[in-house]
């Protein structure tokens, strides 16, 4: 069995990569909201922090009642307990990646986790 998984991603409103890539430590999704649209619910998490990367467009996130403007190139981390909802602007769609990981679970990273050679 190979030590990697590779897939192609088709365009869609939401593409979840957990099952397709057999992820064991994170949930990753690619999301697109059309101009003027929003995620239709407010949500929080029990354990997972979320990291959002804005790939295209603009909009805002409402986090614990505060509107946070977002545009291409922005990155945002949200604690599990924060109540959040995402909105595309009235002028453009917004496309973003969302990475969910268990808060405080990172034991090593980059150079400290690398095995050279």
Strand-pairing partners, residue 57, are: 94
What pLDDT shows up at residue 30? 93
Tell me the residue range of the domain where 47 lies: 14-102
CA dihedral 93, 70, 11, 79 (to 10 degrees): -140
Q: Taking the model in full, what pTM does it have? A: 0.88
CA separation for the pair 69, 21 (Å, rounded): 31
* CATH code of residue 24: 2.60.120.10
Q: What is the pLDDT of residue 45?
A: 96
The domain tally of the chain equals 1
| Domain assignment of residue 94, yes or no | yes
- The answer as to whether 79 is a domain residue is yes
Position 1 scores a pLDDT of 56
Per-residue pLDDT of the chain (117 residues; tens, 9 = 90+): 588 888 888 777 788 888 889 899 999 999 999 999 999 999 999 999 999 999 999 999 999 999 999 999 999 999 999 999 999 999 999 999 999 999 999 888 887 888 888
61 falls within a domain:
yes
Residue 5 lies in a domain: no
Question: Tokens 């973003």 belong to which residue?
Answer: 96
Report yes or no on 93 lying in a domain.
yes
Domain assignment of residue 107, yes or no: no
Which residue's entry shows tokens 């619910």?
A: 41
């Amino acid at each position: 069995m190979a030590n990697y998984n590779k897939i192609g991603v088709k365009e869609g409103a939401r593409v979840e990569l957990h099952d397709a890539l057999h992820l064991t430590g994170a949930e990753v999704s690619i999301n697109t909201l059309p101009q003027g649209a929003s995620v239709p619910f407010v949500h929080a998490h029990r354990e997972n922090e979320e990291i959002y990367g804005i790939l295209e467009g603009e909009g805002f996130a409402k986090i614990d009642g505060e509107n946070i403007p977002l545009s291409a190139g922005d990155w945002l981390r949200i604690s599990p307990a924060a109540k959040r909802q995402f909105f595309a602007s009235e002028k453009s769609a917004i496309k973003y990646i969302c990475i969910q990981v268990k808060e405080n679970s990172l034991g090593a990273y980059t150079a400290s986790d690398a095995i050279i050679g």
